[in-house]
Structures are given as structure tokens and as C-alpha cells.
Amino acid sequence: MAPLLLLLLLLLLGQPLLGAPGQGSGTWSRFARLPYPQDQLFLHDTFPDGFLWGVGSAAYQTEGGWRQEGKGASVWDTFAHRPTTPPGSGFTGPTGGDVASDSYNNLFRDAEGLRRLGVSHYRFSLSWARLLPNGTAPLNPAGLAHYDRLLGRLRALGVEPVVTLYHWDLPQHLQDTFGGWASPVLPELFRDYAELCFRHFGGQVRYWLTMDNPYVVAWHGYGTGRLPPGVRGGPRLGYRAAHHLLQAHAKVWHLYNDHFRPTQRGKVSIALSSHWIKPQSMTDKNIKECQKSLDFVLGWFAKPIFIDGDYPESMRSNLSSLLPEFSEDEKKYIKGTADFFALSFGATLSFQLLDSHMKFQQLESISLRQLLYWISCEYNNPPVFIVENSWFVSGSTKRDDAKYIYYLKKFIMETLKAIRYDGVNVFGYTVWSLLDGFEWHRGYSIRRGLFYVDFQSHDKKLMPKSSVLFYQKLIEKNGFPPLPENLPIEGVFPCGFAWGIVDNYIQVDTTPAQFLDPNVYVWDVHQTKKLIKVDGVFTSKRKRHCVDFAAIRLQVSLLQEMHVTHFHFSLKWSLILPLGNLSLINHTLVHYYRCFASELLRVNITPVVALWQPMAENQELPVSLAKYGAWENPETIQAFVEYAKFCFTSLGDYVKVWITMNEPSVKNLTYTAGHNLLKAHAKAWHLYDKEFRRSQKGKISIALQADWVEPACPFSRNDQEVADRILEFDIGWLAQPIFGDGDYPHVMRAWLHRRNSVDLYNFHLPSFSEDEKKLIQGSFDFFALSHYTTTLVGWEKEDALKYDHYLEVQMINDITWLHSPNRAAVVPWGLRKLLKWVKSKYGDIPIYVMANGIDDDQNMVHDKLRVYYIQNYINEALKAYTLDNVNLQGYFVYSFNDRTAPKYGLYGYVANQYQPKPSMEHYREIIDKNGFPGPDTPEVLCPEEIALCTECHFFRTRKSLLAFISFIFVAFIVTIFFITYYSKRVERRYK
């Protein structure tokens, strides 16, 4: 239902309007109005029937054979063979594309890659210098035969060729003789070359592209000189070269239209590349600058072809005499010379080669969807063929190219949204590229192929990367069809399910109420209008009561408003026992905690209390313990046990759920500290079990942070091994000894042994004695976990900043995931996977999700992200309970309020006032319904919970004494009765 409503809303916001110069400027405001976060969610849907799926390559990048069988030199051959290359060019060695992927000699190898992918089309370019070594006649028969063989093989596979006539490799002879595209002679020579190609190959080709990305050729080939032919002619020469490129394109289009279209029935266009830009702020001025940026890059070529034959007005008004003029006849000749809009959008061409001054101080973005919508508005909703799109991975990445996959996933999903939500007429998509090759100014420092090529090998075999499997499956399914596991379910949680909220540390305010002040005051009504204390006069001092604490009353009332059944907070060890032992006790604070817990019980909210939670300052340990090694020091174990005993004694009558340690951070924990921490937990658990459980009838365990870890490449065994390893180090390290066999995970020991034997490290994981194993194993009543997000991991090193050398793991980001302002990924299904993992590892034990929450922008209306987060994470928890039979007994949202956890609270805190957010009301609604009941959900009548009477606690815990007193009382009554009875009988007898 929600996707349908979103689609209707998008339709109301408007389809692309009929194209007119500047019409695309409404794009930014339109997308700013789309519903959040719904519009940013992944779209599970399929592409229209007949959608074209393909891959591409370019001759110079992959063919090699640079002087084989009569091929002439191109400007790229010359540029790459220069003795020195410009700084940052990225060339590896002096060869450039001399051999590259050697596709010229491996035609059938490449064709097999196409067959394996199952693509419908293959975009490749003809090498002008291979067909016409000098750029003009005579023809090279070997080059002609090569492309004939390639087209024949494609025909045999049923793959549609999309052929580019010119992909930057201008014959060097034309550059030397005429000055290349700076010369007005080139358009006519290009027409002659195109006629040769149409005549020889046109019968087998339906889609032609005259040239690729003329912006790069003109601006960097003849303006900045960054790329071949390397002419530093400045802006004037760059604009002149672009002028000739447009004229050349128009000549070729008319040639095909007039002489070849009637018989060959093909289509001709030009591949235009663009970036996307977003305003620094949504002001009219910034939006105009964004429009200008697109005009200067894409509109430079697109407006003459698709609108009116002339350059954008913003270029004309800003560039004055630098920009050449078209005659009226030339405008008419150029206008309309494209049968479809061929778009190139990718890392190298769209962004890295974009001159910074052409951003006009605005911000680059990788939103393909918004660019597609802009094109539809600006250019009269043309049919769009995405003829190049992808990202890149490091040149050292071999076959598990997770980063590449997630960029592809994002771009393809955005294309799908552009079609389904925005009405953009996209009919085909092309991944760049089929195989690794020479990446222009980046050389071999990056890879963009679906198939891996070892450039040092002799045979240059194609080895499929993980992205091959991803793209292959996507083509088979024609997109991302909805999956049952992605759909929300209806149902309710069991009776007695714990619905909770978390506050790391409750607000403590021990200021006494005015009724506890024994002083007497008089009101000076005539002068100061203030109360004046009367010296030496006192009233009787009454006993302190819990209701005297206004802060407690306020917090409890807010919790009541939420309808939660449980409230989880942590005690402050460092404040309760400042010296770390019982020699100094903060009785005022203990009394406050006791009052808080008793007030919670009074309103039928169960306190869930953690003895210790590490925080930044001294890990929230008493200073004396933190100073002398903290958990590294074994003496901290006994100090913790003494502290736990004091808390059980002082607060245990009011606390029925204890957490020994809440979210000990394994990221900041040494192996020795973790060892001692486990022993401290186990001793505290056994202490409670032996001395307090029978009388207090509570439960006790440890709460571990447990974010899910997913292999970045789902098809990679290596990535799966990494994910398993991280789960053991992050969760199993502390969980396995307690919930498993009493010892650390085997994976940890094996990994550390391997690292110690290979490297100079000395990672020592302590050992437990047999007695210690027995002590620790089973020291739990339930499995409590805090879960916030999901992380992707891989084994291929891609980004040094996100690579963990110690565990040999690369952190990967799925850019299609929804993210919070703090960049936490919102991945609801990760919670379900985690719960299933816990069950599979440690058996059918009771599980509590003790904290689950997300930060949100405090200025964002209706805290929509948190509403979505709570709704979907709880629904995944319901799936785990209902479908996976996980013994889930409670769920707690993090956090209570923004005062103690800024940006995470269900209550805002503004001007000393707590304000409920929509997410609080939404959570309350889920609690009231005990989940997500639907029309077919059986009605479950849960028994009413009886409010607990704290005043009755004395009687509940002293039943034997009560029985004895009752017996004495009854005996006394009976005795009195008999004395009275017999006294009366005696009196009657004497009468």
C-alpha cells in the first residue's frame, strides 16, 4: 500500500514537462519535496518488458595490438608513449593501451563473457586508425575483417551491437596534418569515415553513436591539454574544437538519415556525458548556478542537438566572444540530429574530468535519477539510452569487487525509480565495462570491468568477478522483483512481552523539596517582596519521602505516557562508591535510585537496571580503580563483586531484572581486560543466584552490543569467512564463554595463532582454568543484546581508511541503504538475521533486544526516520519470533529523551521542557496493539497485569513471620472468646 501511495504522490508532483531551455531548473525543488524517507528507500520492482541490458568497451582501452596488422597510430598511442607523462596521469609504465586486455586477439574470449552475462546488447567502438591508418584512404582490410568477425559473433549470440564510431582515438596523422578537431576540415573527414562504416557494417547494426563524450575531447584535448592530443589552447580553442565536433556529428547523422536509414533502419545518436550538481542551499541563486553548471557541460552539446541548434543562453551570456557562432542554416542542420538521448554517467568521465570552475561553487552528487529527470524536462522527454555507467575499484582488487557492485546497484535502482516514479523514458542500460582495461588518465590504477584481467599474464584470461554474478542475476530477473522476506508481516507478540525504553543514565536531581526545609520564613510584602528567613526559629523536620523528588515524578509520568512495561537504565558505580569500596557510600544517590525503582513499580513499570556501563570518562569506573589499570587489574573483579552485592542488598527488593555489564565495548577492550570482565560478571551472577534470587526472585544477565555483519559479496566464500570472523570477535568473544562452552571461540584462537606466527604481533588470548570455565559457562538467565545497525565486510583491500589490518577486513558501504545523519545504516533485516544467528549458536534461549535506535536530525519535521526505523525493526523482530521461532521476550527502544542522549530520544528536550515526538506516539501505538495485528490475526486476550504494591513488599517477603503473627492473633481471639464465654457461665451459675 505504501509504495502505491508514494507513486500517486510522485505523479501528483508532476511528470517531466515538455522541454524548453531552463525547464529542468524545477528538478531540485521537486526532489526536495518528495516524501522522506519513503522516496529514498530501495525500490523492489522490475523494468519494462523489452528493456535492454548490456555492457560496453572502447577500442583503445581493451583492444591492444596498437600496431598489429597495419593499424595506424592514434593520438592516444602517441600521448602514452611520451617520455614523461603529466603528474597524476596514473599510467603504469610507458605502454598505455599497447596491449591492454588484448581483445584484438581474443575476440571469442570476450564473446564468451557476453554469453555468460546474458546481455541483450554490447557497446564497442571502432578504431578509426585501425580501419583507416592515416584517417583517410586507403582502407586496412585486416581491420575491416576484425570487426566483421566481431559482428558475426555477436549475431550468432543474439547480442545487439551498439557501435561507437569515435571514442577519443583520433588517427595521429589527422592531428599532425590538420591540427585535429581544431580544424574545420575534420567534420568532412569524419563524415567520410562514417560512410565507410555504414556501408560495410550498417546491415548488422541498429544503434550507432557518432562519438563519445565530446566535452572531454574538446575541453581536455584542446583546452587544458590534460588528455590527447594534449594541446593547451585554452578555452577559445576548446570551444572551437567542440564547434567542429558538433558539426561533424550533424554531418554523420544526416548522412545516415538521407542514405542509409531507409534500408538499414537503424538509429543514430551521440554519447553525452554529464555530472550531477546540487545547490549548497535551496536558494534561487544557487539553483541557477546548478543549472548553469549543467549547461556548461551537458547543455553545451545537448541543447544544440535536442532543442534549437544553438548553445545555452547561460554560455552565450558568460563567454561572449569565446564561443563560436552558428549560422541560422547551421542551427537548423544541427537541431534534431539524434534519434535518442545516449547518456554516459560514471566516476571517471562525469566527475574526475570535470573542471572545478564548471561547478560554479555548488556540490557534486552522484544522483543519476535526478539527472535523468532533468534531461527529460530540459530536452522534451526523449527516449534515453544509458550507454555507459558504473564506478570503479582499486587496481589491486581482483575478483570480489563489492564496492563496484553497490554502486551498480544504486545506479540501476535510480534508473528504475526514474522510470517508475518520474516517468522518464529510459529504454536501455549499459554497464561499463565488460572487462578490465586501460582507464585513460588513471591508467591501470583502477578497474571498471565485470571480468578481471591479469595484465601481467600472457594469455589475458577473463575471470568473472562477483559483479558478474550480480549483473547476471539482475538481467535474469529484469530488475529487483519484490521478495516475500522483504514484505512486512502482520501478527502480535506473546502476552507478557516486555516493551521497554532505554536511558543510559537517569536524570538524578536530589535537591530536597521545600517541605523538608525546617527553617521559618516571612514574606516581606512591603519592600523586597521576597521571603526572609527567621533566624533561630525552626519547625519539626519530617521524614524524607520518594514523592519529594520532583525529577522522579516527571520522568515516571513521561514513561507512563509512553505505555512501556519496562524501563532500562544504568547505575553509576563511580558515584555510588566513589572510592571503589564500601568505605564511602553515597547514600543520598542510593536512596534516589531506590525511590526511582519503587515509583516505577508503583505504576507497574519494571525497572531493568545495569550495574555498570562503560562511558568515556574513566569507563565509568571509580577513579581509584580506573587509575590502577581498570579491568586490566584483577582486583577490579572483586571490587565489582562487592559493588554488585551492595546493589543487590540495597535495591534488589525493587529490581527484578539485573544487567551486570551493559554494552562493554569490545573495540576498546584488551584481551586481559575482557578476561577479567567475564570473570567479574560470572561471580556477580553466581552471587545473585546463591544469595538473592530466592528472596528477590529476579533475573540477571549481561547485555552485549551485537550489530549484524554481512558479507559484502554474497557470492564470495572469502567474504563469508570474514563476516563469520568479525561476528566471533565482536559478539562471540564475550558471548561464547557465557552462553556456549565456557571458553573463547575457536575462530578467535585460530586467527590469533595465525597472526602471531606470520607477523611480529603478540596477540595473547588468556586461557581459563577448568574451574573458571565452569564458573562462567551458563552464567545467564537470558541473552540481552543491543542492536543498532548492520555492517558489510569483505576481504579485498579497497579503501585503506576503512581497512582493518589486524583482522584483515575491509568495511564496505551499501550506498542504496538509508543512512542517518550520523551515517548509521538503517537495515531492519539485519536484526532478524542476528536473532536467528544467536539462536543457531546458543540454542533456544530467551532473548531481549535491550536497545535499538537511531539518531535523527532534531530539526527534521516529525522525526520521520526514527518512525520508519522503529516500525521496520520491530516488524523484523516479529518475523524472527513468528517465522523463525526465536524465543524473543522483549524489545527496548533507544533512547528515552534527547537530554541524556541527544538526537536519539523519543522525547525532545527544548527550553527545559520534554516534548513527545511523533516516534514516541508511534511506538506507543505499537505497544498498545502488541505488534501489528491484521484482519486475520487471531485475537489474544492477555490477562490484566495487577499493579504492584510497594508498600506490601514487607508482607510479601516475610510470609513465615506473617503466618506466626496470624496464628498468635487467632489464638488470642479464641482465648478471649473462651474467657468471656466461661466467665458469663460462672456468673449465671452464681446467680
Which of 66-75, 215-224, 479-488 comes out lowest in average pLDDT? 479-488
pLDDT for position 180: 98
| Cβ–Cβ under 8 Å, residues 126 and 53 | no
Q: Considering the domain boundaries, does residue 483 fall inside one?
A: no
Position 230 in a domain: yes
**pLDDT of res. 15:** 52
Report the pLDDT value the prediction gives residue 963, as an integer from 0 to 100.
Answer: 63
Of 305-314, 540-549, 914-923, the range with the lowest mean pLDDT is: 540-549
The predicted structure's pLDDT at residue 842: 98
Q: Which DSSP category does 304 fall into?
A: I
Residue 543: its pLDDT value, please?
Answer: 65
Q: What is the CATH number of the domain that holds 344?
A: 3.20.20.80
Q: What's the DSSP call for residue 521?
A: E
Predicted pLDDT at 515: 54
Task: Note whether 629 and 719 are same-domain residues.
Answer: yes
Cα angle: 167, vertex 173, 179; to 5 degrees: 85
pLDDT 10s digits, 360-401: 999 999 999 999 999 999 999 999 999 999 999 999 999 999
In whole angstroms, what is the distance from residue 611 CA to residue 594 CA? Answer: 14
Q: How confident is the model at residue 949 (pLDDT cuts 50, 70, 90)?
A: very low
Residue 959 has pLDDT above 90, yes or no: no
**Is 421 found in the same domain as 397?**
yes
Residue 94 has pLDDT above 70, yes or no: no
Backbone angles phi, psi at 949, to 5 degrees: -105, 105
378 lies in a domain?
yes
Is the confidence at residue 955, as pLDDT, over 90?
no
- Looking at per-residue pLDDT, the higher value among 92 and 834 belongs to 834
Query: For position 12, what pLDDT does the model report?
Result: 45
Q: How far apart are CA 108 and CA 54, in angstroms?
A: 17
Question: In which order are the strands placed within the sheet that holds 809-812?
Answer: 708-711, 790-794, 809-812, 803-804
Q: Which residue in 460, 412, 445 sits closest to 113, CA to CA?
A: 460
Query: In degrees rounded to 5, what are phi and psi of residue 273?
Result: -105, 150
SS (H, E, C) 874-929: HHHHHHHHHCCCCCEEEEEEECCECCCCCCCCCEEEECCEEEECHHHHHHHHHHHH
Predicted pLDDT of residue 1? 47
Q: Look up residue 266 and give its amino acid.
A: G
Do 710 and 586 have their domain in common?
A: yes
Q: Are residues 852 and 976 in the same domain?
A: no
Q: Does some domain include residue 989? A: no
DSSP state of 457: S
Residue 960 pLDDT? 58
469 lies in the same domain as 602: no
Closest CA to 105 of 55, 76, 69, 79: 69
| pLDDT beyond 80 at 861 | no
Domain membership flag for residue 361: yes
754-785 per-position pLDDT tens digit: 888 776 566 789 999 999 999 999 999 999 99
Please give the mean pLDDT across all residues of the chain: 91
pLDDT of residue 975: 73
Q: Which pLDDT value is given to residue 537?
A: 73
Q: Which of 163, 145, 151, 63 is nearest to 104 (CA)?
A: 63
pLDDT value at residue 947:
45
SS3 assignment, position 868: helix
pLDDT band at 951 (very low <50, low <70, confident <90, very high): very low
373 located within any domain: yes
746: domain range? Answer: 498-932
Q: What burial class does residue 758 get, using C-beta atoms within 10 Å of its C-beta: 0-12 exposed, 13-18 middle, 19+ buried?
A: exposed
In a domain, 515, yes or no: yes
Are residues 74 and 129 in contact, defined by beta-carbon separation less than 8 angstroms? yes
For residue 603, the model assigns a pLDDT of 96
Total of domains in the chain? 3
Q: How confident is the model at residue 517 (pLDDT cuts 50, 70, 90)?
A: low
Both 888 and 965 in one domain: the answer is no
Same domain, 510 and 402: no
* Average pLDDT, integer, range 62-82: 96
Do both 844 and 966 map to the same domain? no
Q: Are residues 243 and 327 in the same domain?
A: yes
Residue 569 has pLDDT above 70, yes or no: yes
Please check whether residues 456 and 566 belong to one and the same domain: no
Helices (H) and strands (E) in the chain, counts: 35, 34
| Interacting residues of 804 by C-beta distance below 8 A, sequence separation 6+ | 810, 811
Q: Is residue 2 part of a domain?
A: no
Residues 384 and 517 in one domain: no
Residues 823 and 963 in one domain: no
User: DSSP 3-state assignment of 296?
Assistant: helix
Which residues 6+ apart lie within 8 Å of 65 measured at CB? 71, 99, 102, 104, 105
The neighbour count for residue 319, using CB atoms within 10 Å, is 15
Asked if 698 contacts 660 with a C-beta cutoff of 8 angstroms, the reply is no
User: 56, 36, 34: which is closest to 117 by C-alpha?
Assistant: 56
